[in-house]
Every structure is written in C-alpha cells, then in structure tokens.
Amino acid sequence: MIINGNFVWAIGLFLLAGFSDGIDGYLAKRFNWRTRLGALLDPVADKLLVASLFITLAYSQYIPIWLAAVVIFRDVIIIVGATAYNFLVGPVQGKPTQISRLNTALQLLFLLFVLSRAGFGWPDQIFIIILGASVLITVVISGVDYVWSWSRRVRHGD
C-alpha cells in the first residue's frame, strides 16, 4: 500500500492492526486467556509489524535508512538476547520496561505521523523530526537498558 501510494489503506490497516492487538491484549487479561506461547509471539508480531513499516518507509524514502536500521537492530538484539537467555539461563519474563513502553508508543506515533504526512501533508515536518529524534533516543536507551538488565540477571542468577 505504501509503495503504491495508497495511504488511506495503509493507515487503515495500521490502525486495524493496532486495534486488534489491543483487543487481543484486553481479552487475554480480562478472561485470563494467557499462554506462554502467546506471551512470546505477541511482542514478536508487534516487532514484525513495526519493522516492516520502518523498512518500507525507508525503502520509499519517507524516513532515513539509518533510523530504520537502528530501530530494527535494537529489536534483533532483544530477540536474539531473549532467545539466548531462554535456552541458556531460563524462561524469559516478557514484561517490558517503562522506557521500552515509551519507545513503542513513540515508534507507533512516529509511523502514523509519517504515513499521514506522506499521504496528506500533515503534520508539519518539524513534528516528524522531533518524533524521530525521540524514537532514536528511546531506542538507544531502551536497548542499553535491556542488555544491562539481562546481563545483570545472568550474573545474579535471577
């Protein structure tokens, strides 16, 4: 949709994916429909959605390639780290940190704003730049936080 310039559809599908993810999370909590597999697959699916958007927007030259690379590199580090931890130490507790939650929220808002700007010329570029800088800062901080906290758990046997 993005490559073909169908931004109404792209934004609609993006919002639908977010809404369905929210409903899924609500139902899992409300009715205790939680499984270990679901707890692991849900964040992976979220990361795939975000990564595919960053890749497509970078490919289409709506965002810098280096920003997409930094975001995806962090996610790869988290996935590789979680997988290694799971096999070498023990089960991964999939609870995101506050900075990671802030990063995710900023990434989603950034993607929505970039799609909206590409399709409709709104919001102004300055908002995209500020959000992009915020994404970069929180990606780096949350990535370092994950590596540091998991390393600490390994050293202390948590």
Q: What is the pLDDT of residues 56-70, one digit of tens each?
A: 999 999 999 999 999
In a domain, 34, yes or no: yes
Four-CA torsion 131, 135, 95, 45, nearest 10 degrees: 90
Per-residue pLDDT band at 149 (split at 50, 70, 90): confident
pTM of the model: 0.92
In a domain, 140, yes or no: yes
Residue 112: which domain range?
Answer: 7-156
In a domain, 1, yes or no: no
150: CB partners within 8 A, 6+ apart:
81, 85
**For the chain, what percent of residues have pLDDT higher than 90?**
69
In a domain, 121, yes or no: yes
In a domain, 43, yes or no: yes
In a domain, 72, yes or no: yes
| Structural tokens at position 93 | 């507790």
Four-CA torsion 149, 147, 94, 155, nearest 10 degrees: -50
Q: What is the pLDDT of residues 41-51, one digit of tens each?
A: 888 889 999 99
Domains in the chain, number:
1
In a domain, 2, yes or no: no
Q: What is the pLDDT at residue 34?
A: 86
In a domain, 23, yes or no: yes
Task: Tell which wins on pLDDT, 129 or 39.
Answer: 129
